[in-house]
Every structure is written in structure tokens, then in C-alpha cells.
Structure 1
Amino acid sequence: MTYVLPLWTPPALDIQGSDALFPIRRVHCVAKNYGDHIREMGGDPQKVKPKFFSKSAHAVVGGRDEVSIDYPLATQDLHYEVELVVALGEGAEIFGYGIGIDFTKRDIQAEAKKNAMPWDTSKNFTGAAAVSQLTPFDKIGEMTEGAISLSVNGEVRQAGNLNQMIYNVREIMDHLNGYDVLLPGDIIFTGTPAGVGAVEKGDVMSCQIEGLSDFTVKLV
């Protein structure tokens, strides 16, 4: 078979202790999954059911412990959200975990919400999903608890624990499978704790999740 355009290399992430790469098929994201974050966004955790959105695989930048990302176009209010990322391998079983930052053009999102319009352009753009290298499942097992944090220029902005998730990793996977069958190569952003906020060009974000390698992202 021939194509009218050259085929592109799929986005991929490094794997700790391996020369192989993890190819990314799709990016699933949980909209709200920590009670304190839901409250800071004006919601009620008792009334929240799992809601999902997606990003293009080509929104992903990273695969290493340190990455630089260009400040995106068409926003004056870019927000960070640190998250546990789950990578699915053969049989759509958990292959490994990474640290991710879900970036949001908050001004674009707010305008879209005000007008009852889709807000995918606020979430889906080049660099909208920063992801670290992956730690294989067989090295760490199930991740149901552990500290998660993000600092901006050395100042802690987000701090929580994975056990504060309303829906844990397995429950998220079950819900997603109810909408569309999960596939090998899919990655899942699992939600963020409270403390989201704006960053500017030149800011450095340092992210930690207990049991995983630290991840640093610089906006340039």
C-alpha cells in the first residue's frame, strides 16, 4: 500500500531500563478525580461522576526526565496539572507508569464554557501533555497510594496523595472500557490534586510521585 504523504513516526516514551520505546496510540484524561481540586474549581465531589476528554497523541512531549516545551499560541493563562500517567501494553493491561503535566489554556477554556462550546482547543495542542519516562509495572506494581507534588521555580504548588483519587486506576480503566475499548499504546492521565495555577515562559516545574523518577518541565 502506498500513501500520498510520508508516514510519520508515532509519538513514543522512553522506558526505564530499556532501549525500546513505548508508542502512544491515544491519550485519555480524567477531568476531575481529586475532591480538593473539584472544590477549588467550584464543584461538589459528592456529585461528580467520572468525566473524560482526550488529547491527540501528538500533543505529548517528553519521554525523558527533563524536557523543554514552547509556551503555546493563543493563550495568556496557561495552567499546569500534575498527574499520574498509566500506560497500557499488550491486552490493554498496565504496562507502566509515568508523571505527566496536563496543560490547559485556561482563558480559552473559560470562554468556551461560558458560551457552552467545546473546549478541546484549550486542552489539545502541541505540548499539552508532558510525560516522563515510564517505570514498568513489574518494577512497582499497583499504584494506589503515594505522595504526588509539583513545584514551580522551587515553590510547592500542588501536594497530595494518590489515595485521594475518587476513582483509582483500575476503576478509571473500567469506566473508560464502558465508552470505548482500551487498546495497547493508550495512556491515561488520572486527574490532579488541588493547587493548579498559571505558569509563564521561563518557569520550571518539578514533579514528583513517590516510587517514580522525578520529572522536570521548563517553558521556553
Structure 2
Amino acid sequence: MHNFPQHLLDGHASFMSGRYVRERERIRELSEIGQSPSTLVIACCDSRASPEMIFDAGPGEIFVLRNVANLVPPYQPDGGQHGTSAAIEFAVKALEISNVVVMGHGRCGGIHAALSPEASPLDQGDFIGKWMSLLGALPEQLGHNELMTPAERQTALERISIRNSIRNLRTFPYVADLENQGKLAIHGAWFDISTGELWVMDDKGDFIRPQITLEH
């Protein structure tokens, strides 16, 4: 049997002597009363784009759902096993969150795969290819635009994909109902790994950089 990764043990030791000491009471409180985050963040699995890091969130502050390329499938109660849909159901129906943020990021591997249909699948199961097919014809449409550079296509699809996921999210009846009642707000965001900047969707669907005040 392999030894548990030492860098993870070292990280846990650092957590116990640092952050856990500072937030011990909050963590113990959460263990007793349960979680009550106000925001669900649907993000990518990419190790460089952790929502907890980007939003400097403490324990219990955000409910995070991560999958390849931060995709949301349409509502499909067909008796299958739907991990993403299950997490959305729990966040909205059980935790009664008031905000959903679909957050993409720059240099997304899943989006790159969608724009590279000629590439061979990583495995015969091609789970990534099947998952990215949720984007439909969007990658092909961008791929035919010869006036765009590969980097421009990548960023464009990363952002269009966020809009597509938000559209799919609204096919969940309880999501649409709560949004119409003003009890749930849906947001889009895109994180630039190279600069650390966060771009957010305005009410027209455009991505803008919000004004923030940096602490020194």
C-alpha cells in the first residue's frame, strides 16, 4: 500500500497550527449547527481556480460544486445518476441558497478539448468528450471563424459556455421559480488565472471588471 502523500500531510499540519487555530470556534459551531451558505459557486475542477481562494472564503461561507469546465446540464429527471444536478438540487432546495455563481476561467482544459475535436480521447470511454458535448455546436461555430486567433476562440468559448450553463440552469423548474420570485439571483463570472482578475456578467450578459479596493 502506498504512503499517503507527504505534501498533503504537511499541508494539514499547517492548517491545524494556523487557520484552524484562528477559526476553531467557527469550525466547531458549524459542526454542531450545520452549514448555511448563501451562495452556490459552480466552478471548474482546475487546481488553479479554487473558489475558496478566489473569494477568500472561510469555512461554511460558500457551497462549491466543481466539474470539468464548470458546465451545467439541462434539467433531465430521467432516473439517471446526475452528480451536478444533485448538487444544484441540494443547494437550492435544502440549503436554500440565495445566489448561484457560474464561474469559468482562463486557459480551461475542458474548453480547449472542446475546441480540439481532432485530438484523440484520453481513454476509450471518452468521458470528457461526452461531457463537453453539452456545449452542442458552439465549439464548431467558433472554430469556423478564421479571423479569430486560437487564444481568442478559447476565451470566447469560456465565456459563452458560462452563458450556456446559466441558460441550462434556468431549465430547473425550482430555480426558474425562485428567480422569478426574486428569491434567487444567478450570476456569471470569469477568472483570469494569469492576472488574478475576476470579470463578472452585467445585466446584458457582458463581462466587466468590477471596481474593487485592494487592501495593503
TM-score normalized by the length of structure 1? 0.25
Structure with the greater alpha carbon radius of gyration: 2
**Structure with greater strand share of residues:** 1
Relative contact order (alpha carbons < 8 A, sep ≥ 6): 1 or 2 greater? 1
**Structure with greater helix share of residues:** 2
